[in-house]
């Protein structure tokens, strides 16, 4: 059986599974559509949260970022896992205890303001749309290679699948679909990693193989990789090249962005109790760790295999002839994500750090997907990776679209535009909102602002600067009032957006057009790291505006106190 047919069978089987689950778990009420009827077991919810979290950025793009960035990109691992510790300790139990459907609903009620609720909706939509662009980018990459269609067609196919099971099933359908997607993606990620670790080091555990000796040289794998990179003019894989300030701010931005992302937070509204919310966060961290402990090994081993493919004789002085390039290179060339330009006309593939002499351009987003082919693993492993990549992208896209849909239908239409709308009407408006969000995300996914992981990092910065501070102050400060919350969210969001646009040169101003992530506007702070600065601005503005205006009403202070009191005490509230 040829590889294309095998890919089609495996991917088709997983899609059939997702659609079947969506039909079985179709939402029949707003409670089921928004929060799966609040009846999801914490272990199941932890697994669904893991799938919701491990997006195209984690599955498809993160290993590529690590493969080409080395030590500097360890911030992705620290930030994205550390954020779950914040979420479990500081947000999830209290938000579940408050007992609302959505993040904007909590902000609107806590800050006793429809304006605050509307601003929260705007922040949620901006962050979620930015995030979902990264997922659609990943969908296009996976489809374009493994189903041999162009990137745009791949996006349209992925959007159609998400439309079916997300619009039909709502949070109930999405939850159980994500459980299946987690199983698919974690198997698809770890099996190739085990094979490759055995090939390169003889160790079946990738996380340990990363620090084992390479069988080809007898030296530690990372030492072997560093030696090859040095010969080709690249910076050391294991040494820091970014500034400490930027790495710190980037890690903080990813952490608080994780804790502030609405599509993750809303998962903790689906469990029966506050205790289950905390338990879910713990289980989610366990399920996420299975992939995140493997990702550094996948990145390093993929980079080593890539170099060994181009320089098969073990020396960087004898590159491969282009006419002898392996089949995987030919396949990825067809997608446009891998390119060769014979600059010196010698017919050999020169892969170097210099832009003037480098002839081999590899898109970072293809590394995880191409890794099994580079390592010449069996066809069924390659097909499994294709299914896993699509599962990762589609599961997170569905969660994000659910958050957007809930914000529009529940926090705008039901709360402000048409409070008398029937439950059936609200359910229909939620599905229409999701359909529109899918169309917008697909359109924007055709022209993303960067690699999947980079695009997602921008979304984290936006969530960190706008939503996370409002949630923290809403739970832990009685003094922050409605005016302070609104001013803080707007200040954090606007400053962060302006910095990102200036940094990326998207304002089409002559003196900013040449800026890139290597040319920060403020000290050494890149656009992907600025969310932490935006969050600080949010906190400061909210505090000073609240201090300069009227005090928070007593009933709101009582509400904040009740949310923080442990369940079982006389002052506790029970939702």
Of 536, 411, 370, the C-alpha closest to 100 is: 411
Q: Is residue 503 part of a domain?
A: no
Q: Quick check: is 447 in a domain? A: yes
CATH number at residue 277: 1.20.1730.10
Yes or no: say if 114 and 108 are a contact pair by the CB < 8 Å rule: yes
3-state secondary structure 278-347: HHHHHHHHHHHHHHHCCHHHHHHHHHHHHHHHHCCCCCCCCCCEHHHCCHHHHHHHCCCCEEECCCCCCC
In this structure, is residue 144 part of a structural domain? yes
In a domain, 328, yes or no: no
List the chain pLDDT tens, one digit each, 575 residues: 777 888 888 888 888 887 787 777 666 666 666 666 667 788 888 888 887 777 666 777 788 888 888 888 888 888 888 887 888 788 878 888 877 767 888 899 999 999 999 999 888 888 888 777 777 777 777 777 777 777 778 788 878 877 776 666 667 777 777 788 888 888 888 998 999 999 999 999 999 999 999 998 899 999 999 999 999 999 999 998 888 888 899 899 889 988 887 777 777 777 888 788 888 888 888 888 888 899 999 999 999 999 988 998 877 888 899 999 988 888 888 877 788 999 988 999 999 988 888 999 888 878 888 888 888 888 888 888 888 877 777 777 777 777 788 788 877 888 788 888 887 888 788 888 888 888 887 887 776 655 555 567 677 888 899 999 999 999 999 999 999 999 999 999 999 888 877 766 544 443 433 334 445 666 678 877 888 999 999 999 999 999 999 999 999 999 888 887 655 434 444 44
Instruction: Report which secondary-structure segment, H or E, holds 362.
Output: strand 360-362
CA distance 301 to 395: 27
Instruction: Determine the pLDDT at residue 196.
Output: 92
Dist CA 352 CA 339 (whole Å):
14
Tell me the pTM.
0.80
Residue 461 pLDDT? 84
Let me know if residue 139 belongs to a domain. Answer: yes
| Helix, strand, or coil (residue 393) | helix
Torsion angle, alpha carbons of 410, 90, 257, 139, to 10: -60
- Tell me, yes or no, whether 187 lies in a domain: yes
Q: Is position 347 within any domain?
A: no
Domain count, the chain: 1
How is the chain split among helix, strand and coil, in percent rounded to 5? 75, 0, 25
Neighbours of 164 (CB within 10 A): 16
The reported pLDDT for the residue numbered 508 is 41
φ, ψ of residue 84 in degrees (nearest 5): -70, -30
The number of CA neighbours under 13 Å toward the Cβ of 71 is 13
Domain span at residue 67? Answer: 3-109+116-302+377-457
pLDDT digits (tens, 9 = 90+) for 318-373: 889 999 998 888 888 887 778 899 998 899 999 998 888 899 988 887 888 888 88
The pair of three-digit structure tokens given for residue 13, joined into one six-digit string: 């089987």
Query: Is 558 among the domain residues?
Result: no
């Amino acid at each position: 059986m040829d590889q294309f047919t095998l890919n089609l069978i495996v991917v088709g089987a997983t899609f059939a599974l997702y659609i079947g689950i969506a039909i079985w778990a179709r939402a029949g009420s707003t409670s089921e559509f928004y929060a799966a009827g609040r009846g999801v077991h914490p272990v199941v919810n932890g697994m669904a949260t893991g799938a919701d979290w491990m997006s195209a950025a984690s599955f498809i793009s993160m290993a590529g970022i690590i493969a080409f960035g080395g030590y500097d990109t360890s911030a992705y691992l620290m930030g994205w896992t550390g954020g779950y510790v914040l979420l479990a300790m500081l947000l999830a139990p209290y938000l579940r205890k408050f007992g609302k459907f959505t993040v904007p609903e909590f902000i609107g009620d806590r800050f006793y303001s429809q304006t605050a609720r509307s601003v929260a909706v705007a922040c949620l939509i901006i962050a979620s749309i930015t995030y979902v662009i990264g997922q659609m980018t990943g969908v296009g990459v996976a489809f374009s290679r493994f189903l041999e269609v162009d990137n745009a067609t791949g996006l349209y196919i992925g959007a159609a699948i998400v439309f079916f099971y997300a619009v039909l099933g709502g949070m109930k359908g999405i939850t159980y679909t994500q459980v299946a997607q987690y199983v698919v993606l974690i198997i698809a990620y770890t099996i190739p990693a085990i094979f490759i670790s055995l090939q390169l080091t003889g160790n079946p555990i990738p996380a340990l193989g990363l620090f084992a000796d390479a069988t080809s040289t007898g030296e530690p794998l990372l030492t072997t990789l560093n030696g090859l990179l040095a010969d080709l003019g690249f910076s050391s894989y294991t040494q820091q090249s970014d500034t400490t300030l930027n790495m710190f701010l980037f890690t903080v931005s990813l952490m608080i962005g994780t804790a502030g992302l609405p599509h993750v937070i809303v998962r903790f509204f689906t469990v029966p109790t506050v205790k289950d919310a905390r338990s879910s966060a713990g289980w989610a961290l366990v399920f996420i760790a299975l992939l995140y402990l493997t990702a550094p090994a996948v990145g390093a081993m993929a980079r080593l295999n890539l170099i060994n493919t181009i320089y098969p004789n073990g020396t960087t002085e004898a590159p491969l002839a282009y006419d002898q390039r392996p089949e995987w290179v030919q396949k990825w060339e067809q997608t446009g994500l891998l390119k060769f330009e014979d600059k010196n006309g010698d017919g050999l593939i020169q892969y170097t750090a210099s832009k003037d002499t480098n002839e081999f351009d590899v898109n970072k987003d293809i590394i995880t997907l191409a890794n099994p082919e580079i390592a010449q693993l069996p066809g069924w492993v390659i097909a499994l990776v294709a299914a896993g990549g699509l599962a990762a992208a589609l599961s997170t896209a569905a969660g994000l679209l659910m958050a957007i849909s809930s914000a529009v239908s529940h926090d705008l239409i039901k709360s402000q535009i048409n409070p008398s709308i029937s439950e059936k009407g609200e359910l229909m408006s939620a599905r229409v909102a999701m359909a529109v969000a899918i169309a917008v995300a697909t359109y924007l996914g055709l022209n993303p602002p960067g690699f999947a992981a980079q695009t997602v990092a921008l979304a984290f910065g936006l969530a960190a600067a706008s939503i996370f501070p409002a949630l923290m102050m809403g739970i832990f400060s009685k003094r922050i009032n409605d005016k302070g919350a609104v001013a803080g969210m707007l200040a954090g969001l606007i400053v962060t957006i302006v910095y990102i646009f200036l940094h990326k040169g998207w304002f089409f101003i002559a003196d900013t057009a040449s800026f890139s992530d290597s040319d920060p506007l403020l000290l050494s702070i890149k656009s992907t790291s600025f969310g932490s600065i935006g969050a600080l601005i949010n906190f400061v503005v909210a505090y000073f505006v609240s201090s300069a205006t009227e005090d928070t009403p007593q009933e709101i202070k009582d509400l904040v106190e009740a949310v923080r009191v442990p369940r079982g005490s006389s002052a506790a509230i029970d939702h």
